[in-house]
Chains A and B, each alone.
Chain A
Amino acid sequence: MTILGPLLMAAIVIVPIYMATRGNEMKTVAVIDQTGIFFEKFKDTDNIKFHYLVSDIGSAKSGFRKSGDYALLFIPKTEVSIPTNAILYAENNVSINVKSYIRNVMTKQVEDMKLEAKLKDLQTDKNNPLNVEDILRSVKTIIDVNTIKITDEGKEEKSYTEISMVLGTFAGILIYFFIFMFGSQVMRGVIEEKTNRIIEVIISSVKPFELMMGKIIGVGLVGLTQFLLWVVLTFGIVTVVTSTFAGKGAHKPSIEQTVIQNATKYNPDNLAMPDSSALIKPQDEGVNQIFEALNSVNFPVMIGAFIFFFLFGYLMYGALFAAIGGAVDSEADTQQFMLPITVPLILSIVMMQYFIQDPSGQVAFWFSVFPLTAPVAMMIRIPFGVPYWQVALSMGLLIITFLGTTWMAAKIYRTGILMYGKKVSYKELWKWLRY
């Protein structure tokens, strides 16, 4: 343990650093710029490469899946000169890094153009006093980068990286807490029965395995009940709020239409004379967008995946926690065995930012397939959309590992619960496994 401890602790520190320095894979983004403003303006970075296409958007989209490009950036031509919108097509959710890089480049470019124009105006119109605040305000630009997922069937759906991020983070942390909370509840229960000395009375009536599984399943059902209660209540609240605030969001224009309409609408030159599409006030738009984003989330899949990963993650860890409880005499002795179990869990939380930044990257993939980190890592990825085979692989491995840890835990538990006053070492546990 003296050696294992530092090793595991070091892993928590080193793995994220290694992953960070190793960097993400190179991503190529194809650009179709109908405005012509941004030509050669997107500079390649350490992990994003840009190349420009001159084809029309339709054929680019249909050829996209074969091109091997990470994303396709489309900046539509606007009726007026200054663009405020862009659409980013990708197979999966677009990494937040790429998205924000594009947004920054575009914002900078548009602001520069506006500033130049403004300064030219000022030069010609000598009557106007120079007002810096005024200039800054008129130059300020918000660029909307909308992300659209091109699905396997060639369908398109709008994706909301931000909402996915929030949901993923929330679900990941929830799983982490649930596993820890209910896992240690199992462990404490086992230790309690052991220190109470009631264990021998009980296992003379039921098999140790039944007792262990009974405890794990019982606590798990408590956890599930609690979770479902939360879901039902949360949904209740959300539904009430939605029906009060979002009555008008009924008609939904197609995404591209909206984008192009918005392009005209937000144009500062056009603001004075509202066109038909600008009837919806901007703040309503914000609320609507949130609901639209929420609607885009596949809640049945989310909840289904959550229940699966919670359940099996918990069962897998619960068995390990039960084994620890069986092996020790008191909670004070659990530390040395807790470490190897907590490290993968903590690691998956520490690595969370990488999963979110690049939900379909290598790091996220391996963490969401490795069973001990899968429950948290996969839950973070799910809202971003994960290929089915990866989910299936992750689930399969998780189930196999769950069976493995349960088998292992049963062996340790069976021997451990009848053992008192013995300081158990890893070597000892290994022996118990082979009885």
Chain B
Amino acid sequence: MELFSALNISKQFSGHKALDNVSINIPEGSIFGLLGPNGAGKTTFIRIINQIIAPDDGKLFYNGRELKPNDIYNIGYLPEERGLYKKMTVGEQAMYLAQLKGLSRQEAQRRLNHWFEKFEMKSWWNKKVEELSKGMQQKVQFLITIIHEPKLLIFDEPFSGFDPINASMLKDEIIAQKENGATIIFSTHNMASVEELCDHISLINNSRVVLDGRVRDIKKTYKTNTFEISYTNYQAELSGILPSAFTIIKEWNDHDLRMATVRIPSDSGPNQLISSLLPYVMLHSFIELVPNMNDIFIKVVTEEKTEAVLN
């Protein structure tokens, strides 16, 4: 079941197409990665979801029906460019923003008390925002994003500017939100975090969706049947041992070990590689090289670029 979907969204800014027929389905309870290079149109798309700007064309669906203006109360949004009123106190500001999201005064107070306690922020309540460090401010911002317990959370580059400790705390909190039943859209350049967190991704490049699906499936598609092996006691060169259909990509020495990466044809399996090696070498390790999201990202984007040049 999709919590949110977008159908053929297009948006144009003075002669420049920011989004071109973008369709996306976000399954309920998933962490959805919205990826793409700078200027691809991610932020525009997120702003459209938040109804900050309207699409020129296309439809948005929330929970199976068309998105309505007051669905903003079901959405929590942490923008990439985020800030707070510097001269206001933390508590006042948190109360104000929580009430903007539709909470009653008492309810806002109750929830804020809970979170301020949990994040050990009690002592900040009467401090002005400008007295807080950047990391502390980001905690406040995060808390405000989730305070109304939205069904759909949108984080635009959430980790930028966080130190490793806070980043890991944030990551845990995002996972906790998911476990509580929230669906999360997560826009980032940080491919390591995508790999760690996301179930689904959409890769937007040049205003279009160029790659879309479950992370596991995508990785499978981009698998190249390449293996990395390490061995000792070899009696012959690898090129003499392996069947001719196998390609040796690289060979090198790592201390006492001899290393190599080998690509096998798609009709043969890892067992064939192992059995052809075993009579001649002592095998220390055998790993299938699965492309990481970083590689896939670069591959897709650069391919697009060359295509664009060719066209």
Contact = CB atoms under 8 A, between A and B. Distances in A.
Interface stretch (A107-115, A193-201, A292-300, A360-368): A193-201
B83 A197 contact: yes
A208 B79 CA distance: 16
Nearest to A420: B81
Contacts of B83: 195-198, 201
Contact of A206 (B14, B78, B100): B100
Q: Is the interface of B mostly helix, strand, loop or mixed?
A: loop
A9 interface: no
B84 interface: yes
Determine which residue in A203, A206, A208 has the highest number of CB atoms from chain B within 10 A of its CB, and name it: A203
Interface string B16-57: 000000000000000000000000000000010011110000
Given A196-B86, A431-B14, A201 B144 contact: yes
Contacts of A195: 83
Contacts of B86: 196
Interface string A193-234: 101111011111110100000000000000000000000000
A418 interface: yes
B198 interface: no
Given A202-B100, A203-B52, A197 B81 contact: yes
Contacts of A204: 50-52, 72, 75, 77, 79
B118 interface: no
A205 B85 contact: no
Interface string B287-310: 000000000000000000000000
Interface in B61-95: 72, 75, 77-79, 81-86
B82 A198 contact: yes
Contacts of B101: 205
Interface residues of A, number: 19
Interface in B89-144: 97, 100-101, 141, 144
Contacts of B47: 418
Given A206-B100, A418-B52, A200 B72 contact: no
A201 B82 contact: yes
A200 B100 contact: no
A402 B144 CA distance: 36
A199 to B, nearest CB: 8
Determine which residue in A196, A198, A431 has the highest number of CB atoms from chain B within 10 A of its CB, and name it: A198
Q: Is the interface of A mostly helix, strand, loop or mixed?
A: helix
A193 B84 CA distance: 8
Contacts of B75: 204
A209 to B, nearest CB: 12
B85 A196 contact: yes
Contacts of A208: 52
B52 A205 contact: no
A201 B79 contact: yes
Contacts of A197: 79, 81-83
A204 B80 CA distance: 13
B48 to A, nearest CB: 12
Contact of B72 (A193, A205, A435): A205
A343 to B, nearest CB: 29
A198 B50 contact: no
Nearest to A434: B14
Nearest to A195: B83
Interface in A358-378: none
A202 B82 CA distance: 10
A120 B45 CA distance: 100
Contacts of A205: 72, 97, 100-101
Contacts of A435: 14
Contacts of B144: 201
B240 to A, nearest CB: 60
B42 to A, nearest CB: 14
Interface in A143-197: 192-193, 195-197
A389 to B, nearest CB: 43
A198 B100 contact: no
A202 B97 CA distance: 8
Contacts of A420: 81
A104 B75 CA distance: 77
A420 B83 CA distance: 14
B12 to A, nearest CB: 10
B85 A200 contact: no
A419 to B, nearest CB: 10
A30 B310 CA distance: 91
Interface of B: 14, 47, 50-53, 72, 75, 77-79, 81-86, 97, 100-101, 141, 144
Given A201-B78, A204-B72, 4 more contacts: A202-B97, A203-B52, A205-B101, A208-B52
Interface of A: 192-193, 195-198, 200-206, 208, 414, 418, 420, 431, 435
Closest 7 CB pairs of A and B: A197-B83, A200-B79, A196-B83, A205-B100, A204-B77, A197-B81, A204-B50
8 contacts: A192-B85, A196-B86, A200-B79, A204-B52, A204-B79, A205-B97, A206-B100, A420-B81
